[in-house]
Chains A and B, each alone.
Chain A
Amino acid sequence: MMRRLAVLFALTGLIGPASAGAPAECLVAQHQNEYIFPLPMTARAIAAKRLDILVVGAGSSALPGPNGTHNAYPARLQTALAEMLPGVAVKVSTDVSPHRTALEMVQALPAALSSAKPALVVWQTGTVDALHGVDADQFSQALDQGINLAHNAGADVVLVNAQYSPRTESMIALGTYAENMRWVALQHEIPLFNRFGIMRLWSDLGTFDFTTATKKLDMAVRVHGCIGWLLAELIVEAAKEEAPRAAGAR
């Protein structure tokens, strides 16, 4: 029922902010970007016409195949942002490799930060920690640590939660990890890109069928395209936000 209601909200959301250029199939998920906290460093970077972004992630931030890098959402994010922010030089670099827990990503973060010098870190995590059953407190602490590292390096952070994966739902308990991510994001007043909620909505609406067993990449490529686009919209929106509390909060 809740989800059916959510679908209704999503559909009414369509009338809301117009987004030129987004593939129609992506749009239904816009309302999911509810927690929009300001991204001051990103706003400054956009104003200075140069936006460097670092995507930190594990396996679900990449796609296999020879065109994997080109098809995966980090590259699509760069394309979408370049389209949305004409005149701004957008560069997305990545620190993505599979099977990494949040803590393992944090350990690699200082090096990645100092080489990319981003204004914004997009941090995808949660799946691997859930798979391995990492202690929920340790997971939250790793998130805190990573966010603080990025903030100290002068970068904003956007968290990206796990994918919705109906086939493995009964084998990977994402619940606690998703909740902790939401809570940590609220505490740090940073945006959370609700990839799980968006994909679940697509599944409910029949936009994508995530239960199909296939070796083909076409659906995965379309999904990553949509995620890149929606992520870009979240970033642009959040960078526009007024920052009443941000000055004191950090």
Chain B
Amino acid sequence: MAPVSTERDLRLDLFRGIALWLIFLDHIPSNAVSWVTIRNYGFSDATEIFVFISGYTAAFVYGRAMREHGFLVGTARVLRRAWQIYVAHVFLFAIYLAEIAYVAHSFENPLYTEEMGVRDFIKDPDVTIIQALLLKFKPVNMDVLPLYIVLLAGFPPMLWLLMRMPSFALALSAALYGLAWYLGWNFPAYPTGSWVFNPLAWQLLFVFGAWCALGGSLRLARWVGARLTRILAIAYLIFAFCITLTWYFPHLAVYVPHFVSNVIYPIDKTNLDVLRLLHFFSLAVLTVALVPYGSPALKSPFFWPAIVCGQHSLETFCLGVFLSFAGHFVFTEVSNRLLTHVLVSLAGIVIMVAAAALVSWYRRIERRGAGPRPPAAMPGLAGGDA
């Protein structure tokens, strides 16, 4: 099965870039600007977009590597990427440790004796650090990269299968999702509990993205473009919006019929609730309708900042996590006014774009230094990373 096209779909980079910005905004606690992010208007959030597109691009890039150089080389490339992400995660963890140590050292207030239990994590650094290296201890907002690592590590056989029996592979992935849901399977976490993003559930969206990249989107095109599908998608988005309103204006909750709330709650992010999945599909259906493939607008400088971030997603993501720490630091140490929230949010996005542009430039000069090569031999550079 051949990929749909050899040219990278800029829509993927655009929306992954936007998702990275939204994740950054959402990760600054109590950020007033985060009211613009999609999680406030429906069930799903930027994580779904990120995971789906990551699956899509992984299949696009490594599928080609696997087809041209065989299973072994393809697998090696995927695992190298997983390793890079692991290293990035450990780097972020070091920053987190520094932050927690700073707060433990400098903050004291009798109102918060219980909350200062966070200090316990640095009382036994040997245990905490080892558990973090094992991906069992994951600080707040540091759950996405471990998910990505596990998804990539398990990806090669799935990719192999997707390239031969795509529908069967997708069905297998859906079965695993169902089993994990039904039997309560998840990865263990430290000190207690399990992973915030259950890889056994979230793999479905990743594999679905990969399936779309390997020809699935063509097969779906007729359904996605159908009038009825669009109407259903809009209806569902409106429904989700109304339900979400009741979270922010609790007195509206009385208008939600009892049987509806009994069916929908709790909306389980850990196990990628079906409601969230449907919400993401609805958004995707409308997006495909509004921004067609190869739309010339995608080449306009207006979209370039998001696209360049989406093309260097790992660097941008890590920087975003760091910047959200830094932004929160500014809120608590310097100023917590609305204007500060706006400035910090904007500055963060500008820094992310600048860094992505820098990485892009680096890649270009590195490629030039390496001499001319046929583009097909460098799938990883076909316009961005997996």
Could you list which residues of chain A lie within 8 angstroms of chain B, going by C-beta atoms? 1-4, 34-35, 58-60, 62-65, 98-99, 127-128, 131-136, 138, 140, 163, 165-173, 176, 179-180, 183, 186-187, 200, 203, 210-217, 219-220, 223
Contacts and interface: CB of A to CB of B under 8 A. Distances in A.
Interface string B315-335: 000000000110010011100
Interface stretch (B200-208, B230-238, B264-272): B264-272
Contacts of A98: 113-114
A164 to B, nearest CB: 8
A214 B126 CA distance: 30
A203 B103 contact: no
B300 interface: no
Contacts of A2: 35, 40, 248
Identify which of A1, A167, A187 gathers the most chain B CB atoms within 10 Å of its CB.
A167
Nearest to B40: A2
B194 interface: yes
Contact of B109 (A127, A128, A200, A212): A212
A213 B109 contact: yes
Contacts of A133: 189-193
Interface size class on chain B is 35 or more
A179 B266 contact: yes
29 contacts: A35-B250, A59-B114, A62-B113, A65-B110, A128-B114, A135-B194, A163-B112, A166-B29, A166-B30, A166-B331, A167-B107, A168-B116, A170-B99, A170-B140, A170-B324, A171-B99, A172-B115, A172-B118, A173-B140, A176-B269, A180-B266, A203-B336, A210-B111, A214-B110, A215-B108, A217-B110, A220-B109, A220-B111, A223-B111
Identify which of B29, B114, B270, B325 gathers the most chain A CB atoms within 10 Å of its CB.
B114
Interface string B246-259: 00101101000000
Contacts of A200: 30
B110 A220 contact: yes
A214 B328 contact: no
Interface in B84-139: 99-100, 103, 106-118, 139
A136 B184 CA distance: 12
Contact of A167 (B196, B250, B261, B332): B332
Contact of A34 (B100, B139, B250): B250
B108 A214 contact: yes
Report the 4 A-B pairs with minimum CB-CB distance, sorted nearest first.
A59-B114, A169-B29, A34-B250, A220-B111
Contacts of B286: none
Nearest to B186: A135
Contacts of B218: none
A3 B35 CA distance: 9
A31 to B, nearest CB: 9
Contacts of A59: 113-114, 117
B338 interface: yes
A136 B139 contact: no
Nearest to B338: A4
B106 A213 contact: yes
B272 to A, nearest CB: 14
Nearest to A213: B107
A167 to B, nearest CB: 5
A127 B191 CA distance: 15
A128 B30 contact: no
Contact of A215 (B110, B265, B331, B338): B110
Contacts of B32: 1, 3-4
Given A99-B117, A163-B112, A167-B112, A134 B140 contact: no
B242 to A, nearest CB: 16
Given A65-B110, A223-B111, A168 B103 contact: yes
B360 interface: no
B40 to A, nearest CB: 7
Given A64-B110, A98-B113, A163-B111, 13 more contacts: A1-B35, A2-B40, A60-B115, A99-B114, A128-B114, A133-B190, A165-B115, A167-B115, A168-B112, A171-B118, A180-B266, A214-B110, A216-B110
Contacts of A138: 193
B141 interface: yes
Interface in B53-111: 99-100, 103, 106-111
A169 B26 CA distance: 13
A168 B115 contact: yes
Contacts of B106: 213
Given A4-B32, A183-B266, A214 B114 contact: no
B266 A168 contact: no
A138 to B, nearest CB: 8
A151 B221 CA distance: 54
B256 to A, nearest CB: 9
A3 B338 CA distance: 10
B104 to A, nearest CB: 10
